[in-house]
Amino acid sequence: MPFAHITGWGMHVPEPVLTNDDIAKLVETNDEWIRGRTGIRERHIARENEFPSTLGVEAALKALQVANLAPTELDLIICTSSSPEYIFPATACLIQDQIGATKAGAFDLLAACSGFIYATNMAAQAIRSGSIKNALVIGSETLSRFINWKDRNTCILFGDGAGAFVLQASDKPGGVLSAVMHSDGSGADLLTLPGGGSRYPATETTIHEGKHYVSMDGKEVFRFATRVMGHATQESLQLAGLTTNDIQWIIPHQANYRIIETAAKYLKLPMEKFVVNVDRYGNTSTASIPIATVEAIEGGKVKSGDKIVFVGFGAGLTWGAMTVEWTGPIEPKKTIYPQQYRLFARLRSWLRRALRFIEGIFFRRVCTQRLSGSERQKRTG
């Protein structure tokens, strides 16, 4: 059975930054109040021409560059997002087209802020089963578009961004060692975006009632998160045959500094073992774990051989954890430049659209000729 290794990683965030002082101009709040309750001081906000797919493409190409893997070698792309571009088509398919992953299957996975752990586990299991060799997992968000900027309970929390992992099969032990995934739908109403689905499709009424904004019971979500984060970490470690003494880092979902701090106390670990960057990005939902991971690697914290736990929670309610042994990129046979595939991808996409247009003209002409022939036969018959 092959092992599933994380061999590439990348992140991308929009350039515009919204500080706590900026938010204080929109709602009754201030920097001290926000930092005291969340640990957040700023977050990145997507421009009008930036979407989950465009952010995801940038993160994906960086991850492929680190892995030294051509997009054409990918077998599977999973995109997880709490703010997908459409209900359908899948954001993963848009990314597949834009990076030129010609043979990859692609789908979206929705598990809110737990989504990146869920998606990485799905990719790892597909690799370990032997059905695929190379997978790309992306968490990408533009949640700022679903925020009520008059609600200080939610508008202070969320930011936009994307992160990605490349997973590859290898005979070398290591990589993803264990994972746990859990859910509790009885808490579905605690954190929700009710509008836009089939229960509350967009109408004048749903817009007036604010159903297209994120709604959250902050106190209940806080209690839930502090309860499950530590337990899921221990559960994943137990499945891997490890203890907290064996791990170098815990990389949690970056929702709130106080939640991470409470999890550290539960696990009896110093905060120095936790990778935390919520202060500069806010809650980027599915993108928070890969963004934090990339920064930890680039900052020289995470090294080959380190044992790490990813842990997160989100709407649903969902939560999960994953234990990995970090190994890094597989030794390359030749240097690959994934960015160069973008031009090829655009050309391929244009040619396919043109071909469908030509086929459509030909099909309509054939149908018209057949209908005309049928009418003539009726007249002569």
Amino acid at 218: G
- Using DSSP bridges, classify how beta strands 318-325 and 175-183 pair: parallel, antiparallel or unpaired: antiparallel
Do 362 and 251 lie in a common domain? no
Do 116 and 169 lie in a common domain? yes
DSSP string, 266-322: HHT--GGGB---HHHH-B-GGGHHHHHHHHHHHTT---TT-EEEEEEEETTTEEEEE
20 noted as active-site residue: no
- 289 in Cβ contact with 253 (< 8 Å): yes
**How many structural domains compose the chain?**
2
Give the C-alpha separation, 157 to 159, whole Å: 7
Which two tokens mark 326? 């970090």
Asked if residue 161 belongs to a domain, the reply is: yes
Find the length of the chain.
381
Do 29 and 90 lie in a common domain? yes
Which two tokens mark 332? 């390359």
Helices (H), the chain: 20-23, 31-38, 52-67, 91-99, 115-128, 152-155, 204-208, 218-239, 257-267, 278-281, 288-298, 341-380
153 noted as active-site residue: no
Active-site entry in 113, 134, 155, 277: 113
Asked if residue 335 belongs to a domain, the reply is: no
Do 20 and 77 lie in a common domain? yes
- 221 in Cβ contact with 154 (< 8 Å): no
Asked if residue 198 belongs to a domain, the reply is: no
Do 152 and 246 lie in a common domain? yes
Mean pLDDT by 10 residues, the chain (381 residues): 96 98 96 97 98 98 97 98 97 97 97 98 98 98 97 96 98 97 98 96 95 96 96 98 98 98 97 98 98 97 97 98 94 78 82 84 73 63 56
* CATH code, domain carrying 308: 3.40.47.10
Q: Would you state the pLDDT for residue 2?
A: 95
Predicted TM-score of the model (pTM): 0.94
Structural domain span for residue 363: 341-380
Q: Would you state the pLDDT for residue 213?
A: 97
Do 358 and 273 lie in a common domain? no
Using alpha carbons, list the distances in angstroms from residue 21 to 17, 26, 156, 218, 255: 11, 9, 11, 22, 20
Active-site entry in 12, 253, 256, 277: 253
Do 285 and 348 lie in a common domain? no
283 noted as active-site residue: yes
| Coil vs helix vs strand at 23 | helix
Do 245 and 359 lie in a common domain? no
For 94-108, the pLDDT digits (tens) are 999 999 999 999 999
- 229 in Cβ contact with 319 (< 8 Å): yes
